């Protein structure tokens, strides 16, 4: 992953993203006083988690995919509904990768978060928006 992540609203280093995730972890633990919530945030560090797939090669893909899922989580943790294009504007990641990372966030090994999906505008348009629901925060 590049040292800097360019965003429409600024430039952030991976350290900035890691620091924000750590701060969010502390806030969740304090808010919920629950080991379960802390465990979920620990899973987001993804140190022991293996991505998988027929074309997955850890030495080439783990760092990139870990960065993607962290950027998607960081962009979505505020609970605001966003389309793939709006998430792309915040993360710079490809739409297909964002969609894959939203699916990963639903899996227990990636935190087991609730990722809601609904149509934006008429259903016939085929445009969907997504919302990350944090534990204990029903939107």
Percentage of the chain beyond pLDDT 90 is 42
Selection from 19-28, 58-67, 88-97 with the highest mean pLDDT: 88-97
d(CA 69, CA 40): 14
d(CA 50, CA 110): 10
The string of pLDDT tens digits covering residues 60-76 is: 898 899 999 999 999 99
Query: Where are the domains positioned within the chain?
Result: 4-133
Query: Judging by beta carbons within 10 Å of its beta carbon (0-12, 13-18, 19+), is residue 104 exposed, middle or buried?
Result: buried
Query: Judging by beta carbons within 10 Å of its beta carbon (0-12, 13-18, 19+), is residue 91 exposed, middle or buried?
Result: buried
């Amino acid at each position: 992953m590049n040292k800097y992540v360019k965003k429409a609203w600024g430039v952030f280093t991976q350290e900035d993203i890691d620091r924000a995730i750590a701060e969010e972890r502390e806030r969740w633990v304090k808010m919920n006083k629950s080991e379960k919530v802390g465990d979920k945030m620990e899973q987001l560090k993804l140190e022991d988690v293996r991505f998988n797939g027929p074309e997955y090669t850890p030495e080439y893909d783990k760092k990139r995919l870990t960065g993607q899922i962290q950027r998607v989580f960081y962009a979505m943790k505020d609970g605001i509904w966003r389309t793939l294009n709006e998430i792309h504007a915040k993360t710079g990641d490809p739409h297909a990768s964002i969609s894959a990372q939203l699916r990963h966030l639903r899996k227990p090994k990636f935190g087991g978060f609730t990722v809601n999906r609904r149509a934006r505008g008429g259903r016939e348009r085929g445009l969907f928006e997504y919302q990350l629901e944090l534990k204990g925060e029903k939107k």
